[in-house]
Structure formats: C-alpha cells, structure tokens
Amino acid sequence: MKRRSFLMTPGLFPAAAAVSWAGANDRVQVGIVGVRGRGNDHIKFLARIPGARVAAVCDIDQSNLERAQANAEKLGQPKPAGFADMRRLFEDKSIDAVAVANPNHWHALTTIWAIRAGKDVYVEKPASHNIREGRQMVEAARKYQRIVQVGMQSRTTPHKIKAIRLLREGVIGEVYMAKGLCFKRRLTIGKTPDGPVPAGVDYDAWLGPAPKRPFNPNRFHYTWHWFWDYGNGDIGNQGVHEMDICRWGLGLSSHPRKVTSTGAKFVYDDDQETPNTQHAIFDYGKVQVHFEVRGLITNSEGSVTFDGNTIGNIFYGSNGYMCVDSRGFQVYTGEKHTLAMEEKAQGVIWDTQPHFENFLAAVRSRKHEDLAGDILEGHLSTSMCHLANISYRTGRALSFDGAAENFGADAEANALLTRSYRPPYTIPDPL
C-alpha cells in the first residue's frame, strides 16, 4: 500500500480502550517517538524505572534511530525495535504506551494517533502547536479512556510541590500576581540557504502537517523552535514550564479572560521568526499572570537563580513574595522584605524520572486523576503560550471566551486558533 493511501485509510487506528498495560514481566512496554535529543533523555529515565521497558524507538532520521537503539542497550535494556514510521509502531500490540518527543507541530497528531491505537501517552511540552489541537487531544484522551501526561515536570518536583502548598496555606498572604521568567540566552542562528536533505532523513514525514517547503538547516534540528510552522518561540519552549507553575500556584483551572503581549526580535538580523524579547500579561479577574522572554544579555530578577540564565517564578502576595526556581525557593515577608524561609532542592535539580513514574502509576490505576500533568492541565497551560503569541502576532490586546475557546467575532485572531494542515497529515476529529 502506498504511503498516502495508508495514511488516508478510514478507521486506521480504531478505539482500543480495553487494551491492558501489562506487558512482559508486568512492565509497561514503552515506544518513544523522536529520539534525537529529548527522546534520548526519555530512554535514560525509563531505563532506571523497574516497571518500564523501552521496547521501541522511532525517528525519521536513520542515524538517530540507530544511536537510540545503541543507547538503550548501553543502559541495560534489550535492543528496542526500530521504526521509521510511527504508525507502524502504533500497530504493534505489544506496545502499551508511547512517549512523544518530536517537534511541537507533530505533538497533537502523534498523540491522537497513539490514543486511537489504544496507547497511553506521555507527550512533551508544549502539549500542542495551537489551541484547537490541545482541545482535540483532551477530547481524544477522554473518549478513548487513555492516560495522557504532559511533560510539565515541575508538578512532580518535591520543593516546588512544597512551595505551592505553602502559597495555598497563606505563607505570603493573599496572592494576587504570579510572574514567569525565561531569561534564557539565545545566540543568533544566522542565515542559511536551502540545501539538500541529509542522507537517511525522511523530510516529508518530518514536515508532516506543516507546509511543504525546501529543506533548510536553520528550520531543522532544534532551531525549528524559532519558526511559526513548527515551534512557538521560547514562550512555548521554556516558558510553558513557568506559566504552568504560575497557574498552578494561583489555583487557576480556566483560561484567562484577556491577554496582551508585545515584543520583537531585537539586535539580530537572521532567519528567526519568533521574538527574542516578549512580555505577556494574562487577566484572570482577581489575579494576573505576567510572563517575560529575554533572549539577549540581561540582568536577573528577585532571587531567582542566575547562572547565565534566569528561569523561574515570583509570586506576589499581600504579606510578601516568593521566588521559585529549579534550585529551591525563598519567602520574603513584610515591608522590609525579610527572608522568612528558604528551601534548597535535594539531589538532582531537574529530573524527569518522577514524572515518568507518576505517569506509569496512572497507567496502572487507569485513573487520569492520578496524573500530576494530565492533558487538560497541559492544554490550559500551553494555551497561555498560544494566546500570548496570537496577541503578539495580531499586535493588540484580545478578549478570550474561555468556554468557547475563541475570540468571539474577531476573525483575525480566531484564524490563529488552528492552522492549515497539509494533506494527508490532518488531525482526525476525536468525537
């Protein structure tokens, strides 16, 4: 069967809600899609968990695939099966769950295909490439009763869990504002001409739902983050973590009612499309969320750790403020900003393994409520990135109908809630 015909076959991945997680020796058999960078991290973390096995790996680049298989064996795993086409992996009934680490523009389609094939899914952040995709992922997970965890690892990080608990207990009084910081130094990517597709790469499959265009190295490995066709800028790359912490700390379970975002790509004359400097404000009524991207040389803020980058959160309350980052948190109180409490992270300061362990526990319990980063939570936090980018791209403040997930009669803004999908890589309607 030809590739396009295979993709368009009706009922390609029927619902399979009754599939058991139990695999060989009661281990969850995991297939990993996308194994160049973050996917190799997945191999490392899963290999440490007795209840999991890296059973398969998939990548559109043959060299990445072979390297991932070798890495798994070095970590004591049996050599995982290798797939160039994720759909073949999804057809394998021995695979219980899928870990998704391919580019942002593929997250939703990979997740929904896997769900419809009866797999549980761990998908990296940001959950989606646009707001409509995120909603479709939530609907698919619920319809097919699949466990879907989003890679928002802060929600399984002990010192951050404690910090959020203290906020809820009133450690700084009534919290009225949260700020997320992504002051992450990004050098210019320069300008590169189009060129030949690297040997062993299925470039059409890499593009997937994105528009067809010639291969360009700047729009490929990692730097794809800075192009609207595939990524969401640093607000969707690093920033989604901090915005998730903002929303978590404020106890918000809905979309903001208003958003405004400004910024630009300053200093550099290069191929990058997304801003390297961006400020967004989200209005939730009684509380606000502020978020900043600074990719150029800048100062730090508060007592958030500076190690060349400043990445973290500041919560403001009626009696003080709290600074939180990967290394710990500090609480300052009173008019003199007295250091009232400090906690340092124990052990590894950034660890994905507990998040995978939480995912696997929910795979076994079959309760999405057991997840620290359920797809609905991931959708709400990821949507903040999308809302900010839509405001930035339209050049104005926007009002948002959270229940309908649209901008009312604003046709220009509504057009950015989704994208034009390149056939046949279209998102199937989960319902």
Residue 428 maps to a domain: no
Average pLDDT, the chain: 93
CB-neighbour burial class of residue 153 (10 A; exposed 0-12, middle 13-18, buried 19+) = buried
The answer, yes or no, to whether residue 397 has pLDDT greater than 90, is: yes
Q: Per the domain annotation, does 429 fall within a domain?
A: no
Q: Which long-range contacts (CB under 8 A, 24 or more apart) does 281-286 make?
A: 282/256, 282/258, 282/384, 282/387, 282/388, 283/256, 283/257, 283/258, 283/259, 284/250, 284/252, 284/254, 284/256, 284/257, 285/257, 286/176
* Same domain, residue pair 295 and 308: yes
For residues 268 and 215, state if they share a domain: yes
94 occurs within a structural domain: yes
Quick one: 141 and 285 in the same domain? Answer: no
Q: What's the N-to-C CA distance of the chain in angstroms?
A: 27
Question: Does residue 428 carry a pLDDT above 90?
Answer: no
Do the domain assignments include residue 191? yes
Mean pLDDT of 310-324: 98
Q: pTM for the full model? A: 0.93
CATH number, domain containing residue 91: 3.40.50.720
Instruction: Let me know whether 325 and 356 are in one domain.
Output: no
CA separation (Å) from 158 to 196, 319, 326, 351, 356? 47, 24, 10, 10, 14
Token representation of residue 282? 């989200």
| HEC sequence for 254-275 | CCCCEEEEEEECCCCCCCCCCC
Number of folded domains that form the chain: 2
Q: For residue 22, what pLDDT is reported?
A: 56
Which pLDDT score, from 0 to 100, does residue 162 have? Answer: 97
The CATH number assigned to the domain holding 331 equals 3.30.360.10
Query: DSSP string covering 41-109, please?
Result: HHHHHHHT-TTEEEEEEE-SBHHHHHHHHHHHHHTTPPPPEEESSHHHHHH-TT--EEEE-S-HHHHHH
Judge whether residue 86 has pLDDT over 60: yes
Residues 366 and 340 occupy one common structural domain? no
Across 332-344, average pLDDT: 97
Same domain, 244 and 281: yes
The reply to whether 427 falls in a domain is no
Asked whether residue 291 is assigned to any structural domain, the reply reads yes
Q: Are residues 82 and 204 in the same domain?
A: no
Structural domain for 107, as ranges? 10-154+352-376
Of the candidates 351, 375, 384, 344, the one whose C-alpha atom is nearest the C-alpha of residue 245 is: 384
Instruction: Assess whether 282 and 175 both reside in one domain.
Output: yes
Residue 188 falls inside a structural domain: yes
Q: What is the mean pLDDT of residues 212-236?
A: 98
> Please, is 75 exposed, middle or buried when counting C-beta atoms within 10 Å of its C-beta (0-12, 13-18, 19+)?
middle
pLDDT confidence of residue 348: 66
Same domain, 113 and 258: no
